[in-house]
Structure 1
Amino acid sequence: MNAQPSRVAVLAHDLFPGRAKTATGVIRYADYDVAAVLDRANPGTRVSDHISIPDDRDAPVVESMADALELGDVDALVVGIAPIGGGFDESWRDDVEYALREGIDVIAGLHYFLGEDEDFSSLAEEHGATIHDVRKPHPDLTVAEGRASEVDADVVLTVGTDCSVGKMTVSLELTRAAQERGVDAAFIPTGQTGIMIAGWGNPIDRVVSDFTAGAVEEMILEKGDDHDVLFVEGQGSIIHPAYSAVTCGILHGSMPDAMVLCHVAGRDAIHGYEDTAIPSPETYVDLYEDLAAPVHPGEVVAGAVNTSAIDADEEARATLDEFGSSIGGPAADPIRFDADEVLDALLGDRGR
């Protein structure tokens, strides 16, 4: 993405908020204003009816792109869903075409490139709109040189027990919290949602396998001498039947000094692969540290747990304490509570 829009509509039909993590991430963290969320299952509600957000991040939920435009001007339509496999759902076509006919840009993070769809590309050209396929890598990527450890910054990587456990959210929350302490921290985006939020980045899960570590290293080398700490957005899980290769590429390409293990409370199997059980947190610590060690030693020093499925704060805190004890470090839910203990473990005396 070369330019950030200022006011957007976010398409999240039928899956908002639970399975529309791109929509949720954009609403919470992107700098632009969200005019409306498109969700035909919940028109007439508001975003705040579904997720916890600050008042200035709230927006109406409407049925279509036409309804969104009745609320005012929109610069871009963001496809806020990234399903397994990254395909395009034909039920979204009418809203995308409506936006393009109105000369509105479309931003998508799918493996299906909207810019290569003849109908979409023709409409975009005819009406002066631009299609941004943020999962399309730039053409000059190459293999890693094993140089990420040379940068001045400390590198912190979020790793996970599964997909969709909050690695991007934790990375962004830690970046923001560190900055509030006066630490010069930066976020390194590796997935479509992070790229939409930050306005730059390499989509690691779309890169040729030989170049995955190199694509991460490129970003570390670009930012690593300009900041004190880099928080790298992890992807997938080291045991994931489909995505473990992406996880390993990010681990070796970023050469992290420290890792934060992310989990969702109550999840005991890989989402979409329920025959694959999620092992103990201790097992993950060993797996990630052992795999990192031959390239660059890095420790899992803290954890982050999404406790949204737990009603009582007392029970949520007990869950965090148990997870922290199992990994030998503090654990936090930065959305529900704060990230202070995790930051203390990661930053030491920085920013105090």
Structure 2
Amino acid sequence: MPHSLTHENGKMGLGVLRFSTNEICCVIDPDHKGKNLKALTGIDKSIPIVSDLQEAVQLHANALILGIAPSGGRLPDTWTKPIEDALTAGFLVVNGLHDKLADKFSYLLSNPKNKGSVWDVREVLKEYTIGSAKANKLKNKRILTVGTDMASGKMTAGLLLNEKLLQNNFSSSFVATGQIGITISGQGIPLDAVKVDNAAAAVEDEVMSRQKFDHIIIEGQGSLGHPGSTATLPLIRGSCPTHLLLCHKIKETHLKNPVSHIPFPDLNRFIKMNEEVASLCGVFKRPNTFAISLNTHGLTKVKADQLIEEIQHKTGIFTSDIVRYGAQGYLTTLEKS
């Protein structure tokens, strides 16, 4: 994660650090070598931060996860040499970018003496047809996380809610739809790599394969309010959600760059729009936005609590910060809805 540990582009690595059950021996970021991970990120794990791959090798690392998710999903030119070194050293390189590293580094991977390998997480592994709203006939609860913007905490909220359901012995399954969720869970669909005409069918396929579960948590992508996002609609059509969990960055007033000239809409109108789109103006049962998760990272507890109370009062919907305060309130609210 060079130069990305405390940057929004580092969300791939931060997600893995927070949720992966695999042992992580170190984080590579020369900007923060020797610093405390919890102090920098709030992630309460004792994982050393080192400056380069050679230090990671000394700590007996055997896999290299590319921990960035930059706009456009392209590999930085400066990362070519470290990846070559990792593959030469026999590492598994886990790649969540759009660039296919198995192709880019085929000259190394095709060498019989090379012991390294690549997992291109955004590789689409099957063909899909056209969605047909099959999930609408299911009797379980299908919870789709939606957001007012990109990178608003949809995956995190979904994973934490699913984790809390499982801890309380509920039947639940998480559908990963992005490279971070797939890397963490080892399953799912790289939705932004699926042809747009087949995207709803890909979501539908994942949901229908989990129909035995009482709860299906679908990881949201993008936002209906973002002009550069096409992901939310096929997620809605493919999952036919019964419930929506809205994620919102409370410190911001506008969408992030490069569309920072566009303000966030009124939350109540945004909630109504998502529900109306999901119901197809009444053709399907209208989903219930049962809760809101505010991203209050960087705010004092007093300020965070004040804003949480304001949003809950304004919308009449249970509101908290699922990272700061945990998922119990969301579980309780979901089971009452």
TM-score range (shorter-chain normalised) is over 0.9
Q: Deviations over 1:38-74 (max 9, x none)?
A: 11211222322311223xx3211111111111112x2
Which residue is equivalent to 1:268? Answer: 253
What aligned pairs does 1:189-200 form with structure 2 within 5 A after superposition? 189-200=176-187
Q: How far apart are residue 328 of structure 1 and its match?
A: 2.2
Q: How far apart are residue 242 of structure 1 and its match?
A: 0.8
CA distance in 2, matches of 1:322, 1:181: 30
Matched, 1:109 2:108: no
CA distance in 1, matches of 2:216, 2:91: 34
Q: Could you say what secondary structure the match of 2:325 adopts?
A: coil
Which residue is equivalent to 2:298? Answer: 309
CA distance in 2, matches of 1:301, 1:43: 42
Which residue is equivalent to 1:234? Answer: 220
Which residue is equivalent to 2:5? Answer: 16
What aligned pairs does 1:176-325 form with structure 2 within 5 A after superposition? 176-225=163-212, 227-243=213-229, 245-272=230-257, 273-294=259-280, 296=284, 297-311=286-300, 313-325=301-313
Which residue is equivalent to 1:31? Answer: 21
Which residue is equivalent to 1:42? Answer: 32
Identity %: 29
CA distance in 2, matches of 1:208, 1:265: 33
- The residue type paired with residue 144 of structure 1 is G
Q: How far apart are residue 223 of structure 1 and its match?
A: 1.1
In the alignment, which of 113, 128, 131 is matched to residue 144 of structure 1? 131
Q: Could you say what secondary structure the match of 1:292 adopts?
A: helix
Greater shift after overlay, 136-145 or 206-215?
136-145
CA distance in 1, matches of 2:262, 2:128: 33
- The residue type paired with residue 207 of structure 2 is I
Q: How far apart are residue 130 of structure 1 and its match?
A: 1.7
Matched, 1:341 2:329: yes
| Unaligned residue ranges in structure 1 (runs of 5+) | 1-11
Greater shift after overlay, 163-172 or 38-47?
38-47
Q: How far apart are residue 13 of structure 1 and its match?
A: 1.1
- The residue type paired with residue 116 of structure 2 is A
RMSD value over aligned CA atoms? 1.4
Q: How far apart are residue 152 of structure 1 and its match?
A: 4.0
TM-score, normalised via structure 2 length: 0.94
Q: How far apart are residue 315 of structure 1 and its match?
A: 2.1
1:321, 1:330 within 8 Å by CA — same for their partners in 2? no
- The residue type paired with residue 234 of structure 2 is G
In the alignment, which of 81, 88, 107 is matched to residue 122 of structure 1? 107
CA distance in 2, matches of 1:304, 1:218: 27
| Unaligned residue ranges in structure 2 (runs of 5+) | none
Q: Could you say what secondary structure the match of 1:241 adopts?
A: coil
Which residue is equivalent to 2:54? Answer: 66
Please identify runs of 4+ aligned residues in structure 1 that moved more than 3 A: none
CA distance in 2, matches of 1:106, 1:153: 37
CA distance in 1, matches of 2:238, 2:245: 16
CA distance in 1, matches of 2:205, 2:46: 36
CA distance in 2, matches of 1:288, 1:319: 22
CA distance in 2, matches of 1:314, 1:249: 38
Matched, 1:174 2:164: no
TM-score, normalised via structure 1 length: 0.90
- The residue type paired with residue 52 of structure 2 is S
Q: Deviations over 1:166-217 (max 9, x none)?
A: 0000001101111122211111100000000010110111110101111111
Q: How far apart are residue 151 of structure 1 and its match?
A: 3.1
Q: Could you say what secondary structure the match of 2:143 adopts?
A: strand
What aligned pairs does 1:151-162 form with structure 2 within 5 A after superposition? 151-162=138-149
Q: Deviations over 1:302-347 (max 9, x none)?
A: 1001111212x12211211222223321011121112222222212
Q: Could you say what secondary structure the match of 1:284 adopts?
A: helix
